[in-house]
């Protein structure tokens, strides 16, 4: 398969990898000096006493961070923005009439998916998926083939994607994966397309860095909500929180803010009542593994007036109280009933704290019978947190982690449902099957791409929908003795690969 003018993915990933940003050391916009930040991180329990940011034990993730930041320790954010603008200018100014680029893969080993949404307005579904380091892909044939639609933007790390249900040509994309791993790359705001992904415009939130969720109100499509994670690495910034636009992204207002170390990682809307849930997460990762991924400001918040005012749901009606041992929180709402599910990660071991259920839009909560889910996150719960309810059938709910579990009876019993597919699940879409009432097509996004099955449960097997070139490479090498066939690379999530004679 040959693509004309298809250099951007590798080029922009290289730029972002080299020019990794940290505004904390920029004297023009720094909120804390290096000494002040060291003291605050010690006070917050992130750095051990007797250590500072320069002499803390170096780990592989620190090396990875520093090679991206070289020759700086931390590069001001405007350096990254300038690099992205320059990259765009270079692409537009080049004479590419004679360029022919051939994709050499891999297409059979896709990379990490962070979100997905399905357009059901036409005769067949159109699927959009967001990837951690490969942009946005679109499929009009149930996932058999994928085309990239976000390459010209120049930002390949995507956190969330959403459609306007009343006009599905309108797509919103939040840049910057929000899962907070050491390999997470920053974004530069929220983008909007009004032509199904052909062209894009940045519509604000430039200092969001990472966007964990976008929700468009299906009854009031000019109202758009965004869960903003803020700066993952190094800086404490007041841009974190939940934002709302009531003019389809022209302007944004911060509607929920807790602290400069507390991100909004997830949100859900019950459109007919205006009830909004926001998952707030105390989170600081100062380079590498020097982290605080939970704490006293983590909690579930609830609004009953479309986000104008908020109250703390944690500690109310049976939901666990806001406490230092709470880490990441996920939430999902069935729009056709009053059922809400929320998953909570335990900060002590980064495994499951509990799955809670409400049948009155968050006034009261009960813990589901979730003992079978113990260990499903493998100590990496901060990396996951997604929970999904089937629209129109609140008894069907999925919890996504290293493993994937579902319940067919509202959380009374749980079953593992990931046989034969890649681990580490980050996204899901449940599509009602109109020809078989009560059935749902299930799309799963994981570290190995997109998986599909014809219904929930065990009647049908999973199949991997490959043919998506979004593998996240850390390094590549070409065999000089055989430059047309000897390709080698090391990847995130999918090991080391080789293309050439012999396999």
Structural domains in the chain, sorted by start: 160-192+204-421+456-465 (2.130.10.10)
Is the pLDDT at 91 greater than 90? The verdict is no
Between 326 and 73, where is the model more confident? 326
Say what the pLDDT of residue 59 is.
66
Q: Which of the four pLDDT bands, split at 50, 70 and 90, describes residue 250?
A: very high
CA distances from 94 to 1, 83, 158, 329 (A): 23, 16, 26, 46
Say what the pLDDT of residue 9 is.
44
Three-class DSSP category at 204:
coil
Say what the pLDDT of residue 362 is.
97
Say what the pLDDT of residue 25 is.
38
**403 contact partners, CB below 8 Å, separation of at least 6:** 376, 416, 418, 423, 425
Selection from 405, 457, 450 nearest residue 427 by Cα: 450
Q: Which of the four pLDDT bands, split at 50, 70 and 90, describes residue 13?
A: very low
Is the pLDDT at 391 greater than 80? The verdict is yes
Find how far residue 114's CA is from the centre of its chain.
4
How far apart, in whole angstroms, are the C-alpha atoms of residue 142 and residue 126? 7
How far apart, in whole angstroms, are the C-alpha atoms of residue 360 and residue 334? 11
Let me know: does 203 contact 250? Beta carbons within 8 Å: yes
Say what the pLDDT of residue 6 is.
39
Let me know: does 17 contact 68? Beta carbons within 8 Å: yes
Is the pLDDT at 27 greater than 50? The verdict is no
Between 376 and 485, where is the model more confident? 376
Tell me the percentage of the chain whose pLDDT exceeds 70: 84
Q: Which of the four pLDDT bands, split at 50, 70 and 90, describes residue 78?
A: confident
Is the pLDDT at 312 greater than 80? The verdict is yes
Q: Which residues of 195-223 are buried (b: 16+ CB within 10 A; e: fewer)?
A: ebbeebebbbbebbbbbbbbbbbeeeeeb
DSSP state of 274: T
Q: Put the strands of the sheet holding 440-446 in their side by side order.
A: 425-432, 440-446, 449-453, 463-465
In this structure, of 44-58, 166-180, 442-456, the range with the lowest mean pLDDT score is 44-58
Is the pLDDT at 188 greater than 60? The verdict is yes
Between 275 and 6, where is the model more confident? 275
Say what the pLDDT of residue 284 is.
82
Say what the pLDDT of residue 21 is.
35
Let me know: does 351 contact 370? Beta carbons within 8 Å: no
φ and ψ at 62, to 5 degrees?
-65, -45
Q: Which of the four pLDDT bands, split at 50, 70 and 90, describes residue 36?
A: low
Three-class DSSP category at 7:
coil
Say what the pLDDT of residue 12 is.
42
321 CB-contact burial (10 Å; exposed 0-12 / middle 13-18 / buried 19+): exposed
Q: Which of the four pLDDT bands, split at 50, 70 and 90, describes residue 479?
A: confident
Q: Give the angle 92-98-99 at the CA atoms, nearest 5°.
A: 65
CA distances from 435 to 71, 219, 428, 438, 439 (A): 59, 26, 21, 9, 9
How far apart, in whole angstroms, are the C-alpha atoms of residue 297 and residue 33? 23
Selection from 270, 175, 295 nearest residue 215 by Cα: 270
* pTM higher than 0.75: yes
- Mean pLDDT, the chain, rounded, equals 86
In this structure, of 390-404, 405-419, 464-478, the range with the lowest mean pLDDT score is 464-478
The model's pLDDT over 92-124, given as tens digits with 9 standing for 90+, comes to 777 767 777 788 888 888 999 999 999 999 999
Say what the pLDDT of residue 45 is.
58
Is the pLDDT at 5 greater than 50? The verdict is no
Mean pLDDT of 260-288: 91
Mean pLDDT of 449-467: 94
Is the pLDDT at 381 greater than 90? The verdict is yes
């Amino acid at each position: 398969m040959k693509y004309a003018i298809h250099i951007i993915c590798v080029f922009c990933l290289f730029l972002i990898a080299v020019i990794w940003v940290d505004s904390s050391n920029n004297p023009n916009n720094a909120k804390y000096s290096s000494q002040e930040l060291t003291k605050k991180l010690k006070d917050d329990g992130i750095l051990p006493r007797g250590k500072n940011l320069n002499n803390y034990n170096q780990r592989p993730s620190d090396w990875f961070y520093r090679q991206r930041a070289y020759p700086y320790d931390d590069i001001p954010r405007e350096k990254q923005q300038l690099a992205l603008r320059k990259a765009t200018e270079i692409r537009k100014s080049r004479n590419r009439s004679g360029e022919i680029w051939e994709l050499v893969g891999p297409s059979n080993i896709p990379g990490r998916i962070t979100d997905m949404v399905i357009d059901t307005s036409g005769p067949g579904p159109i699927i959009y998926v967001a990837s951690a380091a490969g942009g946005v892909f679109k499929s009009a044939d149930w996932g058999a083939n994928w085309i990239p639609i976000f390459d010209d933007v120049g930002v390949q790390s995507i956190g969330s994607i959403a459609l306007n249900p009343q006009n599905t040509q309108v797509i919103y994309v939040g840049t910057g994966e929000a899962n907070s791993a050491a390999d997470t790359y920053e974004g530069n705001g929220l983008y909007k397309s009004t032509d199904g992904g052909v062209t894009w415009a940045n519509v604000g939130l430039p200092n969001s860095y990472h966007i964990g969720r976008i929700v468009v109100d299906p009854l009031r499509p000019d109202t758009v909500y965004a869960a903003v994670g803020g700066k993952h690495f190094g800086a404490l910034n007041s841009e974190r929180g939940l934002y709302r636009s009531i003019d389809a992204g022209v302007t944004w207002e911060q509607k929920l803010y807790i602290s400069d170390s507390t991100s909004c990682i997830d949100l859900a809307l019950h459109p007919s009542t205006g009830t909004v849930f926001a998952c707030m997460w105390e989170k600081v990762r100062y380079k590498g593994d020097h982290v605080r991924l939970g704490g006293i400001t983590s909690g579930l918040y609830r609004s009953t007036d479309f986000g104008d005012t908020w109250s703390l749901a944690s500690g109310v009606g049976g939901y666990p109280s806001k406490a230092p041992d709470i880490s990441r929180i996920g939430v999902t709402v069935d729009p056709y009933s009053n059922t809400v599910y929320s998953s909570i990660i335990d900060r002590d071991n980064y495994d499951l704290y509990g799955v809670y259920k409400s049948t009155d839009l968050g006034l009261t909560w009960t813990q589901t019978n979730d003992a079978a889910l113990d260990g499903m996150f493998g100590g990496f719960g901060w990396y996951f947190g997604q929970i999904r309810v089937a629209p129109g059938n609140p008894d069907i709910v999925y919890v996504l982690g290293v493993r994937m579990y579902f319940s067919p009876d509202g959380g009374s019993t749980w079953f593992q449902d990931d046989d034969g597919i890649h681990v580490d699940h980050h996204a899901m879409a449940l599509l009602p099957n109109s020809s078989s009432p009560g059935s749902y097509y299930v799309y799963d996004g994981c570290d190995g791409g997109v998986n599909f099955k014809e219904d929930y449960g065990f009647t049908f097997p999973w199949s991997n929908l490959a043919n998506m070139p979004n593998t996240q490479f850390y390094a590549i090498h070409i065999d000089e003795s055989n430059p047309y066939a000897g390709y080698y690379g090391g990847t995130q999530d999918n090991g080391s690969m080789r293309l050439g004679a012999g396999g």
